[in-house]
């Protein structure tokens, strides 16, 4: 009986020990599974954080590229602004110079017109009405506040150009003058500024401007009639140019 009790106690102890071991193993297994799950979750978090980090790094690199681009753009803008400021300074200087030039050019134009008036009045009197009117019109133009200085200068230079051309051309035109106390229309022959001769339509009267006397004088028909008539035809482009005699005034001091 006593042995049987011991055996029963021993078996019960073994059963309890086995039960406890099984319970511990289950706990260990569950603990291990829990740790595995926690590790998996932690790994997922790590992977997610790594991906976020990669995205942040990519965004950072892109931001650096944008920043570099902005720096280049800003540098370019600063240079452009600096150039614009320089151009503004140059423009202001040019405007000041233009103002200074205008202040100088206006008195110069007035003197040029006055000189041209004096010149025409003292020159050989060909086309005198036309030339005098042109100079007088210039005088009126100078006093007109509604005309730009540039236009005034253009007109003055044009008038000087016309007067210059007169010295290099031959011309024929009609004009009335007083001959022997009678006003008659004559055929005029101008050769530059060297000769200003005239002849009536019938050739009975031939004359020329005498610079020394400051008046028109009649010429000998025998000496000049045919030559002036020939010159008139050349000037009128009726015949080809050729040599002919003209009443050239003597050189000063000769």
- For the chain, domain boundaries: 62-166, 169-248
Residue reference for tokens 């008195």: 107
The residues pairing with 196 across neighbouring beta strands, listed in sequence order, are 190
3-state secondary structure of 218: strand
How far, rounded to the nearest angstrom, does the alpha carbon of residue 178 sit from its chain's CA centroid? 55
How far, rounded to the nearest angstrom, does the alpha carbon of residue 28 sit from its chain's CA centroid? 94
Burial of 190: CB neighbours in 10 Å, binned 0-12, 13-18, 19+ = buried
Query: Long-range CB contacts (< 8 A, 24+ apart) of 25-30?
Result: none
Model pLDDT for residues 23-74, shown as the tens digit of each residue: 566 665 676 667 666 656 656 765 665 576 577 677 768 877 877 777 887 7
Model pLDDT for residues 78-115, shown as the tens digit of each residue: 888 888 777 777 766 665 566 667 778 889 999 999 99
Give the separation between CA 141 and CA 143, rounded to whole angstroms.
5
Contact indicator for 137, 207 with CB cutoff of 8 Å: no
Residue reference for tokens 């110079």: 97
How many residues are present in the chain? 254
Give the separation between CA 96 and CA 8, rounded to whole angstroms.
128
Model pLDDT for residues 126-171, shown as the tens digit of each residue: 999 999 999 999 999 999 999 998 899 999 999 999 999 999 999 9
If you average pLDDT over every residue of the chain, what do you get? 80
Instruction: Give the pLDDT band of residue 254 (cuts 50, 70, 90).
Output: very low
């Amino acid at each position: 009986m006593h042995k049987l009790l011991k055996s029963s106690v021993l078996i019960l102890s073994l059963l309890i020990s086995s039960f406890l071991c099984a319970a511990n193993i289950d706990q260990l297994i569950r603990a291990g599974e829990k740790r595995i799950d926690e590790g998996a979750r932690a790994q997922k978090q790590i992977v997610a954080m790594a991906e976020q980090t990669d995205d942040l790094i990519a965004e950072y690199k892109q931001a650096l590229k944008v920043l570099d681009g902005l720096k280049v753009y800003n540098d370019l803008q600063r240079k452009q602004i600096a150039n614009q400021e320089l151009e503004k300074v140059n423009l202001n200087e040019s405007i000041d110079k233009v103002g200074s030039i205008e202040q100088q050019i206006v008195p110069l134009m007035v003197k040029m017109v006055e000189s041209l008036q004096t010149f025409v009045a003292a020159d050989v009197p060909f086309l005198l009405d036309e030339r005098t009117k042109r100079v007088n019109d210039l005088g009126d133009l100078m006093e007109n506040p509604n005309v730009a200085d540039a236009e005034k200068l253009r007109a003055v230079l044009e008038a000087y150009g016309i007067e210059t051309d007169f010295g290099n051309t031959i011309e024929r035109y009609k004009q009335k003058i007083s001959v022997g106390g009678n006003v008659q229309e004559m055929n005029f022959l101008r050769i530059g500024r060297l000769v200003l001769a005239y002849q009536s339509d019938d050739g009975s009267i031939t004359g020329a401007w005498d610079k020394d006397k400051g008046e028109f004088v009649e010429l000998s028909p025998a000496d000049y009639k045919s030559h002036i008539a020939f010159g008139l035809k050349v000037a009128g482009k009726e015949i080809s140019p050729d040599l002919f005699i003209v009443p050239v005034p003597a050189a000063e001091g000769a």
